Amino acid sequence: MDWSFIISTTLLAAFGIEAIVFGLAAIGLNLQFGYTGLLNFGQSAFLAVAAYSLAVLVSQMGFSFWVGILVGIIAAILLALLLGIPTLRLRADYLAIVTIAAAEIVRLLLRSVTFKEWFGGPDGINDFSRGFYELNPFPIGRYTLGPVSLSQDQLLIIVVGWTLVGLALLVTWLLVRSPWGRVLKGIREDEDAVRSLGKNVYLYKMQALIIGGVLGCLGGFVYALGRQAVNPDFFGTDSTFFAYAILILGGAARVFGPVLGAIIFWALIQGSDVILRSLIDAGVPVFSLMTASQAAVIRFILVGAGLMILMIYRPQGILGDRKELALDAR
């Protein structure tokens, strides 16, 4: 097997666009679920409205990508208000039902042929990231970082992406250490007790939903600019569940939990895939009976089995605390 190829591919996945996108999505979920106890199963919708706001405004209307980013953030805020106003006064499971339904509605609207002129239908939209890459300060060429080789555009999006991750972590750290963050933890543990102290629980929940949605929507921008295209099927419910798996793996209610989870998750996903394909190509007994498409499925089985074992022996995740699992889902 070509171990240099396996290592470089795994590292690129662990620190590349996928890890950044889902790391940002999980950071938003961490504020909503980990610290506040909100069950948002529609985080992919926040990524979608941000990514498509950028793509539509730039490719269809001719605005700069800065305008697209601003409108994308506003769209994420409006989506949080739309989802939160009718549900946050009710039990947590109502928010879960509404958000997972809303995410599917958003995805189906984006891929609908009725709005293909605007959203591109199932094919999505491309050719909108030129303005971003024109600002690239890195000269044209290849950049070698250890075993990984990157083009100037790949290096730019990775640097920008991890900068956004760092800023999102800083914002989260400052918020959860503030009096506002301590109220969120109180709501997670016993919102009736917090309400008895005169706090407006509904308002705090709404703020957590909005801020978590905005932090998550940054992942939509990174996805759109990194892939230089948007496709509606990327924003399915599986993307939200990937983000939850990453959050649980790294540790909920821990500032760095989502980032560690994203790095490990995508290293395992891509690393296992490359190793399985290499074993198939090498004709190793047992593995030679498999096809490449079967290997793509088996990697998720292996990662899923690993997560199950983790939940048995360390349910709080790698960085988590068992006390943080006492979520009051009401």
Report how many domains make up the chain.
1
Q: What is the pLDDT of residues 128-185, one digit of tens each?
A: 999 999 999 999 999 998 899 999 999 999 999 999 999 999 999 999 999 999 999 9
> In a 3-state reduction of DSSP, which class is residue 142?
strand
Q: Give, to the nearest 10 degrees, the angle between helix 257-281 and helix 292-313.
A: 140
d(CA 52, CA 71): 10
Residue 104: both structure tokens together: 């599917």
CATH of the domain at 31: 1.10.3470
Average pLDDT over residues 25-38: 96
pLDDT in tens, 7-25: 999 999 999 999 999 999 9
The whole domain housing 36 covers: 3-325
* Residues 231-234: contacts with CB under 8 Å, at least 24 apart: 231/122, 231/123, 231/124, 232/48, 232/107, 232/108, 232/110, 232/111, 232/119, 232/122, 232/124, 233/107, 233/111, 233/122
Give the pTM. Answer: 0.95
Does 330 map to a domain? no
